[in-house]
Structure 1
Amino acid sequence: MERLADRVALITGASSGIGNAIAAAFGREEASVVIADVRREPKLDDERSVFDRLDDVDADYAYVETDVSDEAAVETAVETAIDEFGGLDVLVNNAGIYQQYPVHETPTDAWDAIVDVNLRGVYLGSKAALPHLAASEHGKVINLASIYGLVGGSNSAAYCASKGGVANLTRQMAIDYADDRVNVNALAPGIIKTAQNAEWRANNPEIISEWETLTPWPGFGEPEDVADAAVFLASSESDFITGHVLSVDGGWTAQ
């Protein structure tokens, strides 16, 4: 339970969902954690606060209100890690949004919002953090892509475009920062059961049935499945892995 001891991690979008689980897992592994999110508490009341989860394991943490599409806000988040904990070792670009539209029905403002958070946010976070990660002995970037960054998904034009960009930006950054010994990898989650999509899953049985057919593993994933993979990519166990997009999808993209 000490795989991330003495390391400082900045996680965007960490108040809810997958980010919440990643932050809690990092805390259990003894990292100091900076929660960077537009909100302090989870989006839904039935999801447990990440700060309660970090308190359970006596983790060191800080919160900074952060809109990942705002360059100044992202720079402040990185500065918070440096000021509070003396450095930065791991950046998890997790913040993301999802809206459903085919291209011809996508409002321009929706396209811009999705790309701003999902792709521009990864760029801004990496831009601000990489000089500090290069100075670390354990520099790691973990980007959250998606199965829809590897394969197409219906009615998800802007989301697929943004997550495809994240996947290839991950590969590109891995090349540029290899000499600095900064590992840059991504996670591509499949269907993950979160508090945010619980009501949607309950009310869309036909789509859920289709997704079950597309997922060879018998059941959908939990946020902790993604968090466990993130711990591996943040730890020294992954030091010779860079430029990889790791699918956590129950076999969806294996077909």
Structure 2
Amino acid sequence: MFDLAGKVALVTGGNGGIGLGMARGLAQAGAHVVVSGRNREKSAAALRALQGEGLAASEIAADVADEAQVQALFAQLRDQHGRLDILVNNAGTSIRRQPQDMTLAEWTTVMDTNLTSAFLCCRAAYPLLKAAGGGKIINIGSILSIFGAPYAGPYCASKGGIVQYTRSIALAWAKENIQANAVLPGWIDTEMTVGAREQVPGLNERVLARVPVARWGKPEDLAGIAVFLASKASDFVTGTAIPVDGGYAIA
């Protein structure tokens, strides 16, 4: 029930961090994974790594916060693969600043990258998923969908929005056999959180003190939940928001 052979999966922001960890898990389960990102060099390196492991993967460059580029991305995906079964909306960014110091341009950048991109990709994916007889959407939220952070107002708002948008499409598209769920990663060791540790004094120590397993998560810790939510195993799971945080939220 976890077999993804014959499935095509698109992972936005799949060229590094959590996205690459999920892409690798989906490919290991048998899917052909299409990695999309803005940084062509980074995407090429991710592709070499996946293909070097004998996994089926390809790459399409796009800025998924740009409507025209999203349309081109899905047109190219349709032309190259003929179908889409799994969409992972993982593209994201953060700008760490106190709310009173945040500019409108910074707010818009984070919201467009994290939330508007998910809307654009879900809307573009819908006809392909419907044509395939159904499919899976996995939207990447954050434990900051639940908690606040004084230095991450737009990030928290965008990730909270991801959860509510996921519930909306889960209801709207259930009749099309499309399941949509959100994953809420905890503190995962990625390029983004390296920046957080540099900019937020004491963050590393607080995370290690609170996480029951006493470590930061790794991108590969997200592979299993991606396979579950992308497979038949989750056919009766939709509209949920699942923390993957080593117990941080309950400690």
Aligned 8 A contact 2:2 2:232 in 1: no
What SS does the aligned partner of 1:65 have?
Answer: coil
Using the alignment, how far apart are the partners of 1:36 and 1:13 within structure 2? 6
Aligned 8 A contact 1:189 1:249 in 2: yes
What is the match of residue 4 of structure 1?
4
> In the alignment, is residue 161 of structure 1 matched against residue 157 of structure 2?
yes
Out of 84, 108, 118, which is 1:88 matched to? 84
Count of matched residue pairs: 251
Give the partner amino acid of 2:34.
V
Q: Give the 3 Å change call, closer, same or farther, for CA 238–250 of structure 1 in structure 2.
A: same
Using the alignment, how far apart are the partners of 1:243 and 1:204 within structure 2? 33
Give the partner amino acid of 1:16.
G
Q: Deviation per CA, 1:225-255: give whole Å up to 9, x if none.
A: 1122111111111110000111001122224
Q: Deviation per CA, 1:60-118: give whole Å up to 9, x if none.
A: 33221111111111112112221111100001000000111222111111000000000
- Residues 1-255 of structure 1 correspond to what in structure 2 (within 5 A)? 3-42=3-42, 49-198=45-194, 201=197, 206-255=202-251
Using the alignment, how far apart are the partners of 2:2 and 2:215 within structure 1? 30
Using the alignment, how far apart are the partners of 1:195 and 1:158 within structure 2? 19
- TM superposition score normalised by structure 1: 0.91
Using the alignment, how far apart are the partners of 1:137 and 1:58 within structure 2? 29
- TM superposition score normalised by structure 2: 0.93
Q: Deviation per CA, 1:124-143: give whole Å up to 9, x if none.
A: 00010011112223500000
Aligned 8 A contact 1:90 1:138 in 2: no
Using the alignment, how far apart are the partners of 1:31 and 1:138 within structure 2? 16
Using the alignment, how far apart are the partners of 1:27 and 1:57 within structure 2? 10
Identity score, percent = 36
Q: Give the deviation of 1:58 after TM superposition.
A: 2.9
Aligned 8 A contact 2:167 2:240 in 1: yes
Q: Deviation per CA, 1:22-68: give whole Å up to 9, x if none.
A: 1122221221111111012339xxxx932122213433332211111
Q: Which moved more, 1:142-151 or 1:188-197?
A: 188-197
Aligned 8 A contact 2:145 2:160 in 1: yes
What SS does the aligned partner of 2:222 have?
Answer: helix
Using the alignment, how far apart are the partners of 1:4 and 1:157 within structure 2? 37
Unaligned segments of structure 1, at least 5 residues = none
Aligned 8 A contact 2:27 2:56 in 1: yes
Aligned 8 A contact 2:99 2:150 in 1: no
Aligned 8 A contact 1:8 1:81 in 2: no
Aligned 8 A contact 1:28 1:57 in 2: no
Q: Give the deviation of 1:14 after TM superposition.
A: 0.9
Using the alignment, how far apart are the partners of 2:195 and 2:159 within structure 1? 24
Q: Give the deviation of 1:151 after TM superposition.
A: 1.7
Aligned 8 A contact 1:111 1:158 in 2: yes
